[in-house]
Amino acid sequence: MTLIKSISGIRGTIGGKPGDNLTPIDAVKFAASYGIWLKDYSKKDKLKVVIGRDARLSGEMIQNLVVSTLIGLGIDVVDLDLSTTPTVEIAVPMENADGGIILTASHNPKQWNALKLLNEKGEFLDAAQGAKILEIAEKEDFDFSDVDDLGVINKNDSYIDIHIDEVLNLSLVDAEVVKKAKFKVVVDGVNSTGGIAIPKLLKEFGVEVVELYCKPTGHFPHNPEPLKEHLKDICDLVVKEKADFGIVVDPDVDRLAFISNDGEMFGEEYTLVACADYVLGKTKGNTVSNLSSSRALRDITQKHGGTYEAAAVGEVNVVTKMKANNAIIGGEGNGGIIYPESHYGRDSLVGTALFLMLMAEKGGTVAELRASYPSYYMSKKKIQLTPGLDVDGILKSMAEKYANEELSTIDGVKIDFAENWVHLRKSNTEPIIRIYTEAKSQIEADDLADRIIGEIKSIAGL
């Protein structure tokens, strides 16, 4: 199960057989399906699509295939080349484009790549739109353009700089305030495009930058998911350099994690908590995160007099709930910051700027800031799926077992106990069941996760 077709795009491992992996044939097929859908959706004679990619090894190959396919459909392409997910998102409306495609498998290892699909607002497609594209791909009913009607490529490598300017111009961002703090920060760019964008941004704030894995070679030096077990190098370097903190992003720069000055994880769940604390302290309003995110955001929101709501996992679901709830900041507990004043997409550049402002104004250390927030501890575990495993049946059995607890089944099964919670769901991006728990101590969170995993394995006969 290495080719995953979902409403959010197509993701798979490079190589192998078409239909089983993300091969050149699959890349062309799904790029064509998106192009055909976009023609019907936009009802325009001439279309423009923005394309950007992270630095993974297969990126240039997939980019060439996708760009050529769109041109073959008569669609003009704005080619950003090496870019970030949020940069492509802001470029789409700036270019008055009709859509965008980001070529990235986000936090997945180097053998993976993906086509992530955007609408004319630079936002991810909704479920119905994604389903329509999958339907077009299934039928393979493609009609390409004649030679006189082919699209053209316009290359534009300035958008990371434009993106940084947009961040600097946000109403709650003041570079001069940060410059006075004279921060020193270590950056782990996992040898992808975050290694270009984040140091550039920090230097605009007068930050002394220590670069770690910031060359965009695509050779990820560690598992690119920004979790504690993958980040020993930067944790050690923050202490060695006597830095104020560390910044870690994933390959496409939509997830953001901080390392405290003592070399400990700030906690990717607390990225959103800290940024929301800063924004809510300046502007009254509401927040949204997903069902797998920490209760700490709810606590901080209520402290500032706002209302918190939880959405199903997935950026498009969080954005939909944010719009309905008039949320002024939101995101996902994986370190994804969505700040509507900028755009409705997870953005590590925006998150970095808001965090710098918070630290510059509050003073003190990052470790002290973390200690000031409600203390919750999370465990994020997974069970690898095997062919034939009845995931829906397993989740239904777990819901029945805990029917007397506070339950949500809008996205998998979330069981809210008085002192802790567990969220079980099938991943949209990997062949796994995710088991997220949260409690008042790490031991409790881990024990709850292990207990639930044991119960799932018992039900599944594993």
Residues of the chain with CATH 3.40.120.10: 4-159, 174-372
> pLDDT tens digits, residue range 247-270?
999 999 999 999 999 999 999 889
pLDDT in the model for residue 427: 81
pLDDT in the model for residue 18: 94
Residues of the chain with CATH 3.30.310.50: 377-460
Dihedral sign, Cα of residue 204, residue 206, residue 207, residue 211: positive
Give me the CATH code for the 174-372 domain, please. Answer: 3.40.120.10
| pLDDT(431) > 80 | no
Structure tokens at 14: 């490079």
| pLDDT(1) > 60 | no
User: By C-alpha distance, which of 349, 311, 358 is closest to 330?
Assistant: 311
pLDDT in the model for residue 391: 87
pLDDT in the model for residue 399: 95
pLDDT confidence bin for 7, thresholds 50/70/90: low
Give me the CATH code for the 377-460 domain, please. Answer: 3.30.310.50
pLDDT confidence bin for 34, thresholds 50/70/90: very high
> pLDDT tens digits, residue range 368-416?
999 999 999 989 899 888 877 888 899 999 999 999 999 999 999 999 9
Q: Are 138 and 41 in contact (CB under 8 A)?
A: no
pLDDT in the model for residue 387: 78
113: β partners: 12
| pLDDT(3) > 90 | no
Q: What is the DSSP string of 398-417?
A: HHHHTTTSEEE-SSSEEEE-
pLDDT in the model for residue 384: 86
Mean pLDDT of the chain: 95
pLDDT in the model for residue 295: 92
Give Cα separations from 294 to 29, 338, 380 (angstroms): 39, 16, 12
Give Cα separations from 58 to 14, 75, 112, 393 (angstroms): 7, 23, 8, 37
Lowest mean pLDDT among 3-7, 50-54, 179-183, 456-460: 3-7
Q: Are 254 and 336 in contact (CB under 8 A)?
A: yes
The active-site residue out of 106, 192, 260, 289 is 106
| pLDDT(443) > 90 | yes
Q: Are 276 and 301 in contact (CB under 8 A)?
A: yes
| pLDDT(208) > 90 | yes
Give me the CATH code for the 4-159 domain, please. Answer: 3.40.120.10
Which helix (DSSP H) or strand (DSSP E) does residue 297 occupy?
Answer: helix 296-303
Calpha distance 138→122 (Å, rounded): 25
All residues at 6 or more sequence positions from 374 whose CB lies less than 8 Å from its CB, including other chains: 295, 296, 299, 300
SS (HEC) of 6-67: ECCEEEEEECCCECCEECHHHHHHHHHHHHHHHHHHHCCCCCEEEEEECCCCCHHHHHHHHH
User: By C-alpha distance, which of 307, 303, 306 is closest to 284?
Assistant: 306
Calpha distance 379→449 (Å, rounded): 7
- Looking at per-residue pLDDT, the higher value among 269 and 97 belongs to 97
Q: Are 415 and 405 in contact (CB under 8 A)?
A: yes
Question: For a pLDDT cut of 90, what percent of the chain falls above it?
Answer: 88
| Residues 311-326, mean pLDDT to the nearest whole number | 93
Residue 106 known to be catalytic: yes
Q: Are 358 and 349 in contact (CB under 8 A)?
A: no
pLDDT in the model for residue 234: 98
Distance of CA 381 to the CA centre of its chain: 18
| pLDDT(428) > 80 | no
| pLDDT(315) > 80 | yes
